[in-house]
Structure 1
Amino acid sequence: MLKFNEEEFTSQLSSAVALRPEIEALVAQLGDGVKNVYFLGAGGSYAEMMPYALLLQTKSTLPGTAAIAQEFVLAPDTAFGEGSLAVFVSATGSTPDVNTAIEWAKAQGATTVGFTGEAESPFATSLDHVFLSSAHSYDIQLLLLVTGLLNARGEFADYERFADQLALMPTLMVDVAKKADSKASVFANKHKDVEYLFVVGSGNVWGYAYLYSMCVLEECQWLHTTRVHAAEFFHGSLELIEKDTTTLLFYGEDETRPLMDRVRNFVDLYSDDVTVFDTADYALEGFDSAYRALVSPLVIGTAASRLSAHLELVRNHRLDVRRYYRVVEY
């Protein structure tokens, strides 16, 4: 497949799975001292953690919040401080907004924990607890942390079986990437000259829809996009749908699928250019169906990564090219 090193990909996800003993040790160390959890990030790192705040909000009495780090530092929740667990992720370890928030969170008395692959970065060296892996996504690590916290509170009795099954993810995500590749190629070739498109998601894949629109289509491909939550689609966005409006729907498998169905029914009626990436289309052989919704963010991210590779090729626009981001002062 185009720009896909199966051995490297599998190794990266396996390095995330291998963090399980360390993460479980942290959860045991924290005990019942955590009064709330805040997932603080910027851009993609904020979006990638949205599903895990939602997981706490819907499955636990432990308060969980995802917030934009820079804004949170200026206008924090009054509940943040001693007893708060502040969670961060960073691919480069050098994002100023995130690193400033780490230092600020520590000054407020919060415990800071983060995931990265850059051991010597300012991000890694400033955290109270840092977990290192070569994985380019943080879904497995965040799932282990959050479901571990739930388990410690008696709110997820299936933790051991679920955590065991996460060991299947490296191989299963290879299968997802291979199956998604042809659809990704078709979409990229058809839309290489598109000027504007919608990206829609809901529930625990809404964060990835947000991320993909902002951090890939806009930042890496300079495409004009509208990202909209399925529940909000009918409060303005529907008026922009025409026969030739390109719409990209990201489906997960949690309780919010009916929201996506409603959007799909509408856009199928009024547009001739609708593409669906649905986590339910991937078999995940051997993985317990009861846990499929939990891994939907990882599945949709893996599928969409194939779309990125093909867009880069057909648009002749490398994913690492920027005009302004980290290029000019702002």
Structure 2
Amino acid sequence: MANHMLNFDADRYLRIQSGAVGLADEIDALVRDALGSGVTNVVFAGAGGAGILMQPAASLLRERSTFPAQVTMPAELVVTGSATLGRDSLVVIPSLSGTTAESLAALDHAKSAGAQVVVLTANGDSPLARKADISLVNFAEDDTSCESFYVQSLLLALSVQAARGELEDHRAVVAELRRLPQLLLAAKSAFEPRARQLAEAIAADTWHIVTGAGNAWPEAFYYGMCILEEMQWIRTRPVHASDFFHGTLELVEPDVSVLLLKGEDATRPLAERVERFVSGLTDRLLVVDSADVALPGISPSTRGLVSPVVLAALLERVSAHVEALRDHPLTTRRYYRRVAY
């Protein structure tokens, strides 16, 4: 099925995403222990893209739980402090390498405040993993980390809800999530021709407006900043669909490219509003919609939760083709070594 996919190892992909879902019981246990020990709030403190990927989980808790949740930038947390950070806080720090300097500083800051620190990483022998109270390790690399981090943080948010009696069908939802790796692989395979078309359109333009709403918005932000800008040096303007009509709409002209990510949560009408507006002004509207993906066995409510995971899986295929079309490896950086990570 996947042998026609450009620069892709299906077995590796399944191992990594199955590993993320396989952490469900461990995550549930740590959440229940944390809440039982007096934790009353959770802080997601990831640097850069890893931090962006925590936003859907934090939003889920803000929308469906009374358990306080926030997303903070590690660099800002260290220099400004936080009145809500203390012994009753659970701090979640995602870092693929486990070596990010900003995240290490945030870990030290959080521990000095008495908070419990959980690290999500691909490297169990890294400084972050060694210094954390709890380290959840699932090997991944840049091309597979989005789905892995999305799933792990979603599992944590669901466990918080379940522990507080705010989610009756917790086991059923987790059971559905265990089906996701194989379904995502099938989705990638089916999307390959479309991925090539989207990549050709992206590679042909010098800049792109990238937008989405709800839990699709973090993936839009991430894709614009971390993939197209950092990894491909393509200029983008990520903007939330709610803000699109408060400024960015004036930039839309017949030759302007707009990449719209559509998810399946309650905010989908906000994305559809952008789609209606833009489609009348430019023929360079590119839409990636998680609702187009077949996910047999996944309920509508769970589909809404995993929309960013699905979008990330599809966009990885686009990135593989953009890389090839532009002869610009996704690993190439200009200034990486000049920045203190």
Report runs of 4+ in structure 1 exceeding 4 Å deviation: 327-330
Residue 154 (str. 1) matches residue 165 (str. 2): yes
* Equivalent position SS for 1:102: helix
Which whole-Å CA distance do the structure 2 matches of 1:47 and 1:329 have between them? 20
Which whole-Å CA distance do the structure 1 matches of 2:51 and 2:200 have between them? 30
Which whole-Å CA distance do the structure 2 matches of 1:229 and 1:295 have between them? 19
Within the candidate set 174, 177, 185, 1:166 is matched to 177
Residue 115 (str. 1) matches residue 133 (str. 2): no
Structure 2 CA distance for partners of 1:126 and 1:183, relative to 1, 3 Å: same
* Equivalent position SS for 1:243: coil
Match of 2:23 in 1: 19
Which whole-Å CA distance do the structure 1 matches of 2:155 and 2:139 have between them? 16
Residue 255 (str. 1) matches residue 239 (str. 2): no
Answer whether contact 1:43 1:214 (CA < 8 A) is retained. Answer: no
Which whole-Å CA distance do the structure 1 matches of 2:339 and 2:242 have between them? 37
The CA deviation string for residues 173-218 of structure 1, in whole angstroms up to 9 with x for no partner, is 1012112221110121233231111100111121111111110000
Answer whether contact 1:36 1:84 (CA < 8 A) is retained. Answer: yes
Task: Look up the equivalent residue of 1:93 and give its one-letter code.
Answer: G
Match of 1:316 in 2: 327
Within the candidate set 126, 147, 152, 1:141 is matched to 152
Within the candidate set 87, 90, 104, 1:99 is matched to 104
* Equivalent position SS for 1:199: strand
Deviation at 1:326, TM superposition (A): 3.0
The CA deviation string for residues 4-54 of structure 1, in whole angstroms up to 9 with x for no partner, is 111110111111122122112212212342211111111101110011110
State the identity as a percent. 41
Instruction: Map 1:154-303; keep pairs closer than 5 Å.
Output: 154-303=165-314
Match of 1:82 in 2: 87
Q: TM-score, normalised by structure 2?
A: 0.94
Answer whether contact 1:221 1:317 (CA < 8 A) is retained. Answer: yes
The CA deviation string for residues 91-150 of structure 1, in whole angstroms up to 9 with x for no partner, is 111111111101111111111112111011111111111111124231221121110110
Answer whether contact 2:14 2:181 (CA < 8 A) is retained. Answer: yes
Of the structure 1 ranges 308-317 and 285-294, higher mean CA displacement relative to structure 2 is found in 285-294
Task: Look up the equivalent residue of 2:35 and give its one-letter code.
Answer: G
Of the structure 1 ranges 212-221 and 86-95, higher mean CA displacement relative to structure 2 is found in 86-95
Which whole-Å CA distance do the structure 1 matches of 2:203 and 2:150 have between them? 29
Of the structure 1 ranges 67-76 and 215-224, higher mean CA displacement relative to structure 2 is found in 67-76
Q: TM-score, normalised by structure 1?
A: 0.97
Which whole-Å CA distance do the structure 1 matches of 2:305 and 2:184 have between them? 14
Match of 2:56 in 1: 51
Which whole-Å CA distance do the structure 2 matches of 1:199 and 1:190 have between them? 13
Match of 1:29 in 2: 33
Match of 1:10 in 2: 14
Task: Look up the equivalent residue of 2:96 and give its one-letter code.
Answer: A
Answer whether contact 1:85 1:111 (CA < 8 A) is retained. Answer: yes
* Equivalent position SS for 2:111: helix
The CA deviation string for residues 134-177 of structure 1, in whole angstroms up to 9 with x for no partner, is 24231221121110110000001110101111110110110121
Answer whether contact 1:199 1:213 (CA < 8 A) is retained. Answer: yes
Answer whether contact 1:113 1:127 (CA < 8 A) is retained. Answer: yes
Deviation at 1:76, TM superposition (A): 2.9
Deviation at 1:85, TM superposition (A): 0.8
Structure 2 CA distance for partners of 1:66 and 1:328, relative to 1, 3 Å: closer
